[in-house]
Amino acid sequence: MKIALLASAMFSFFLSVCAQSSCDKVPAQQSQTPPSTSDTAAKAPPARPDDVKSIDSILWALYGVISGPAGERDWNRFRSLLVPEARLTSVVPRGDASAPSVHLLTVEDYVKGAGGYFAKNGFFESAIVNRVERFGNIAQVFSSYESRHAEADKPFTRGINSIQLFYDGSRWWILSIMWDEERGDNPLPNEFAAKAPVNQK
């Protein structure tokens, strides 16, 4: 939802665990046909209709599927939310205060790295504020989050997920997730730090 596993936060808390892999270059004389929607749907596990019917529902499913007490997660449900080629990217500051680095994971990198951590540790993550911008069949969501080891705990970290989505005419897909976490020199902006109060009538 993507490196050295026990870093410290949300997705980056476990995503930093997987090693980067190199890709062979495609010979210039070969042309690649971009995957179609039907190709994507065929490669991904079937999604629960209620998980992918709207932007709100797929965000709810994303946070829900990675949250829970120590134990196995429903990784096929997780896979069903993202295109198989999706990337999960953690922005990680360096200790020497130089430019930050990024750790890029595939969906399977994340499943492998986070799955090992979740098997032994409780992890609950929820959205604080979702700011959605949509144009046609594309959407971008800035989603601030807070992470806990148990539902009743105080958050041990907060941050923002930048989530890119695509609508194929019948359902939503997550194309990428990139995140950075809150630090002393990188506080959450006020508009992302607290849920708006509900008007009482």
Q: Are 164 and 137 in contact (CB under 8 A)?
A: no
Fill in the amino acid letter for 88: L
Provide block-wise average pLDDT over 10 residues at a time, the chain (201 residues). 38 39 40 62 92 98 98 98 97 73 94 95 98 98 98 96 97 97 94 78 47
Domain 10-19+39-192 grouped into CATH 3.40.50.720: no
Q: Is 85 left (phi over 0), alpha (psi -120 to 50) or beta?
A: alpha
* pTM exceeding 0.95: no
CA 92, 161, 74 angle in degrees (round to 5)?
A: 100
The three-state secondary structure class of 182 is: coil
Angle at 129 (CA atoms; ends 80, 76), nearest 5 degrees: 10
First to last CA, the chain: 37
Q: Would you list the domain boundaries of the chain? A: 10-19+39-192
